[in-house]
Amino acid sequence: MTVTTVTRQDVIDFLYTEAKILDEWRLKEWADLFTDDGTYIIPPIGEPDADPLTSLFYAHDNRSRLQERAERLLKKEAHVEFPHSTTLRNYNNIIVSNLESDVISVELNFTTHRTKREVMDTFIGKAYYDIVLQNNELAIQYKKVILQLDSLRPHGKISLIL
């Protein structure tokens, strides 16, 4: 596959695969979807353009930090996620642009439902991706998750990957 042969459907299938991997808690595989210089960020609620040098982000991970996060969440010592939550992700209103470019841009709306200990939480928002070809496979170079919530409940934290 080359940049000129990547189709919109290829990108959408890649995103749906990402969602499936996350729902199945295959977090090491999820981290492997990122490029070596990949980043994953979740800015503060209500501040989508916040500066990570002056604001506290829910996540601001480079590739090695992504791997550490994935490995940590899979351990029994990660009490907040052991046993793991049950999650169901839905991606919709997917807009793919720059298919002919070296960097494919994606914007989508998402809903992540999470249930644990008889409590259901729903996270909604937008996600922005830069997707590139790496070793002839699609890979995430950048993922930014914008939560569109009034606040986080019940404890003001995110213990799963959105």
Q: What is the domain-level CATH number for residue 51? A: 3.10.450.50
Q: Tell me: the pLDDT tens digits for 67-102?
A: 888 888 877 776 677 777 888 999 999 999 999 999
Q: Does residue 19 sit within a domain?
A: yes
Q: Does residue 26 sit within a domain?
A: yes
Query: H or E stretch including 96?
Result: strand 86-97
Q: Does residue 35 sit within a domain?
A: yes
Q: Does residue 127 sit within a domain?
A: yes
Phi, psi of 57 (to 5 degrees): -90, 150
pLDDT for position 2:
47
Number of domains in the chain: 1
Range of the domain at 82: 8-147
Q: Does residue 12 sit within a domain?
A: yes
Query: What percent of the chain stands above pLDDT 70?
Result: 91
Q: Does residue 159 sit within a domain?
A: no
Q: Does residue 158 sit within a domain?
A: no
Q: Does residue 99 sit within a domain?
A: yes
Token pair 């290829």: residue: 10
Q: Tell me: the pLDDT tens digits for 35-57?
A: 999 999 999 999 999 998 999 99
pLDDT for position 71:
85
pTM of the predicted protein model: 0.90
Query: What percent of the chain stands above pLDDT 90?
Result: 64
pLDDT for position 4:
54
* Of 85, 160, 73, nearest in space to 116 by CA: 85
